Amino acid sequence: MEATAQEVDAAVLAAHAARGALADRTVRAAFLRSAADGLDAARDGLVETADAETALGPVRLTGELARTSYQLRAFAGIVDEGAFLDVVINHPDDTATPPVPDLRRYKVPLGVVAVYSASNFPFAFSVAGGDTASALAAGCPVVVKAHPDHPALSELVAKVLRRAAAHHGIPEGVVGLVHGFTAGIELIMHPQVAAAGFTGSVRGGRALFDAAAARPVPIPFHGELGSLNPVLVTEAAVAERAEAIGAGLAGSMTLGVGQFCVKPGLVLVPSGAAGDRLVKSLTDAVSDTAAGVLLDHRMRDNFVAGVEERARLADVDSPVTPGAGGEHTVSAGFLTVPAARLTEEGAYDLLLEECFGPVSVVARYADEAEASAVLSRLPGNLTATVQVSAEEAAGQGRGPELLASLTPLAGRVVVNAWPTGVAVAPAQHHGGPYPATTSTSTSVGGTAIERWLRPVAYQNAPTALLPAELKDENPLGLPRRFNGVLER
């Protein structure tokens, strides 16, 4: 199924030719809703195929498919509203210094978007996932590079999207699909590709990011690469509810066999008796977790080798040993280490790197300074979590300080909850400082559409020549800022 260079070229050119068919926002929104309806109608067959290729289970996959349909409908609503166009109109003002001419600004689609599917979310971060939905909502055709872990599902989903496009008179080439490693390189280098979205490993994402920057005409590359997702448990919190925190952590780190990009991979827990209670609770809960199947044998081999390498380090203990659970499965577990080992550069840096699968590192800290020293060594993350006491949550003690200290580390700061579970909501941000992502944007939530748009301003353009979005009378009824006043 490897796509040739000629097939990649044909897919990109077909997508490029379909740009005009997405210009009408009413048609675009209807297309997104029809795509969602089509996915829902094909649910049973899609879930069966997805489970056969990923072993993620019908319950998990059915929920993920529903999330994907919801996301398409949510972007349809954003297209209908039109606020994403960010319309700003300034009439001339000769009294200003310097004088202001007639200026009218809005955002236009970039062009064809290359989408690189993720392995761990065969619906939500794949052919019809967030990158595709937001790009189509912006008015950008897409060419998707299918993930090799679910090629048959990718073909089925692409057919659903193309049928929905054809139903509204949009060329089916508006959604292209290619397979293969080489095709992924050809895609990022194609001169008609205007931007790219990626979810995957640091190594693969960085290679594509560098390729996008090295093109004769560099393009935006929005990559989600990797994240440790640290958790800090305060002394007051562990004294208040150690057992509940341990059980919650177990559920979060083993959810989906630890294959979520926001799995908590490093947990800072106080030394002492209260911290021991948390570790015991975590031990009990993780011990009761059944072995599970990772998405492919390469990931399984990397997981087993990764936990073995970490466990061999001095002062690293394994209350519940993670690793090979059977011929095709892995067992969940966690490692403990004195936090002091993580405060200096050296062999223990390995414990500060993501290990994909059901494992977390619990670092026991002696005091606040030691915990802060560990956090100061971390790279960027998608999430950072703090578990605080009721008193700290009320703003007493170090509560406000803790929130401020975690903000530079991540794109989403979680308090007294767990990072797994990324809601599709207007206020959501799923991104973070590098290497969590290569840009400051989000791949989940309404503002994900901004990645595929660029602003353009018209100066002194006659009314007859202006796009309808920028005319004074506002024939499209768009939200806008008109001479400094926000109009809804």
Determine the pLDDT at residue 139.
98
The phi-psi region of residue 424 (left if phi > 0; otherwise alpha if psi is between -120 and 50; otherwise beta) is beta
Which tokens belong to 150?
A: 């679910």
Active site residue 224: yes
Count other C-beta atoms under 10 Å from residue 105's C-beta.
18
Q: What's the burial of 164, exposed, middle or buried (CB within 10 Å: 0-12/13-18/19+)?
A: buried
Determine the pLDDT at residue 399.
81
Determine the pLDDT at residue 327.
79
Determine the pLDDT at residue 1.
72
Just give the CATH number of 230-415: 3.40.309.10
* pLDDT, mean of each 10-residue run, the chain (488 residues): 94 98 98 98 98 94 98 98 98 95 98 96 97 98 97 98 98 98 97 97 95 97 96 97 98 95 97 96 96 91 95 96 89 97 93 96 97 96 97 89 93 97 94 96 96 98 97 97 94
Contact 439, 131 (CB under 8 A): no
Task: Write down the domain spans for the chain.
Answer: 5-225+439-482, 230-415
Given the residues 53, 140, 186, 261, select the one marked as catalytic: 261
Determine the pLDDT at residue 171.
98
Give CA separation, 84 vs 18, 46, 459, 479, in Å.
Answer: 21, 32, 21, 9
Q: How many residues does the chain have?
A: 488
**pTM assigned to the model:** 0.95
Residue with tokens 């109608």: 41
Contact 269, 363 (CB under 8 A): yes
The phi-psi region of residue 272 (left if phi > 0; otherwise alpha if psi is between -120 and 50; otherwise beta) is left
Active site residue 309: no
Fold (topology level) of 5-225+439-482: Aldehyde Dehydrogenase; Chain A, domain 1 (3.40.605)
Give me the phi and psi of 260, to 5 degrees please: -95, 145
Determine the pLDDT at residue 309.
96
Q: Which amino acid is at 284?
A: D
Determine the pLDDT at residue 266.
98
Q: What's the burial of 420, exposed, middle or buried (CB within 10 Å: 0-12/13-18/19+)?
A: buried
Given the residues 53, 64, 186, 224, select the one marked as catalytic: 224
Biggest CA–CA distance in the chain, Å, is 78
Run of H or E including 403: helix 399-406
